[in-house]
Amino acid sequence: RTSLDLFANVIHCQSLRGVETRHRGVDILLVRENTEGEYSSLEHEVGPAPPVTPVTPVTHWEPPPTPLSPPNPTGHDHQWEGDGLFLQCCREVAAEYPEITFQNMIVDNTTMQLVSRPQQFDVMVMPNLYGNIVSNVCAGLVGGPGLVPGANYGHDYAVFETATRNTGKSIANRNVANPTAALLAACMMLDHLRLHSHASMIRQAVLASLDDPRTHTPDIGGQGTTSGAVQSILAHL
């Protein structure tokens, strides 16, 4: 990811009509910084004294105060009061988009809000590790890793995959994996290539086939197989 400079990971978690979950009406777009933060892979072991040389570069995230602070109204000066660097940068950019409401929330409160009232969120942006955690929570809310597609964007390249990046080795070769996430990711790729009609056609077919619980794979509570699900999608095309 760093050599292709895929700096933005975007996942769209949406409650799907045919899949029953504890939460309804979830529609969150998650944007995660993909190349730095806690994933900078700079670690070392030192002696007992606290090190002075840098170890693991992490984008600074000082916890902001109470959650859901009101958005910066237009016309206000930037508030530099020593925010974390990440938050500071977000505020700067937000100031250029006055029609979009900007809020900030501490990640611990965010996870609590996500499990009680996820409908309050629209678009979320965050550094690498929090993105990893929150994307998994959101995927869990809408039905699991088998349903959510993800995209990685850089200036020159775009890579599409399942949102939660699981290898699924425990269910490999058993014909029970859910093809939805990969297929929806492929649709995102087709949209990116501007083959919109093909993308919508496949997406409609995938979502329509999910309406039938008989073709649901075990991860969403059914007893179908991968090939069964694919046949059903082909039938809907």
Partner 1 sequence: MAALGAGRAVAAGLLRAQSLGAWRGLRVPTATLQQNPQAKSQSAKPEGTFQVTMLPGDGVGPELMHAVKEVFKAASVPVVFDEHHLSEVQNMASEEKLDQVVDSMKESKVALIGKIHTPMEYKGELASYDMRLRRKLDLFANVVHVKSLPGYKTRHNNLDLVIIREQTEGEYSSLEHESAKGVIECLKIITRAKSQRIAKFAFDFATKKGRSKVTAVHKANIMKLGDGLFLQCCEEVAELYPKIKFETMIIDNCCMQLVQNPYQFDVLVMPNLYGNIIDNLAAGLVGGAGVVPGESYSAEYAVFEMGARHPFAQAVGRNIANPTAMLLSAANMLRHLNLEFHSNLISDAVKKVIKVGKVRTADMGGYATSLDFTQAVIAALEA
Among 133, 195, 201, 208, binds partner 1 (CB under 8 A): 133
103 binds partner 1 (CB under 8 A): no
Q: Shortest CA distance to 70 belongs to which of 39, 93, 102, 117?
A: 102
Q: How far is the CB of 44 from partner 1 (least distance, A)?
A: 7
Q: To the nearest whole angstrom, how small is the minimum distance from the Cβ of residue 183 to partner 1?
A: 20
Q: Are 7 and 127 in contact (CB under 8 A)?
A: no
Nearest partner of 109 among 121, 127, 123, 95, judged by Cα: 121
- The Cα–Cα gap between 60 and 181 comes to 32
47 is a contact residue toward partner 1 (CB under 8 A): no
- Regarding 226 and contact with partner 1 (CB under 8 A), the answer is no
Structure tokens at 113: 């809000």
Q: Backbone dihedral region of 91: left (phi > 0), alpha (psi from -120 to 50 degrees) or beta?
A: alpha
35 counts as binding partner 1 under rule CB under 8 A: no
**Residue nearer to partner 1 on the CB measure, 62 or 211:** 62
Nearest to partner 1 of 133, 158 (CB atom):
133
Q: How far is it, in rounded angstroms, from Cα 89 to Cα 202? A: 38
- Label the pairing between strands 158-162 and 149-153: antiparallel
Select the span of 62-70, 153-161, 174-182, 200-208 touching partner 1 (CB under 8 A): 62-70
Does the protein bind partner 1 through residue 127 (CB under 8 A)? no
Q: Footprint of partner 1 on this chain (CB under 8 A)?
A: 22-23, 38-39, 41, 43-45, 50-51, 54-67, 81-83, 85, 107-109, 111-116, 129, 132-133, 135-137, 139-141, 144-145, 164, 166
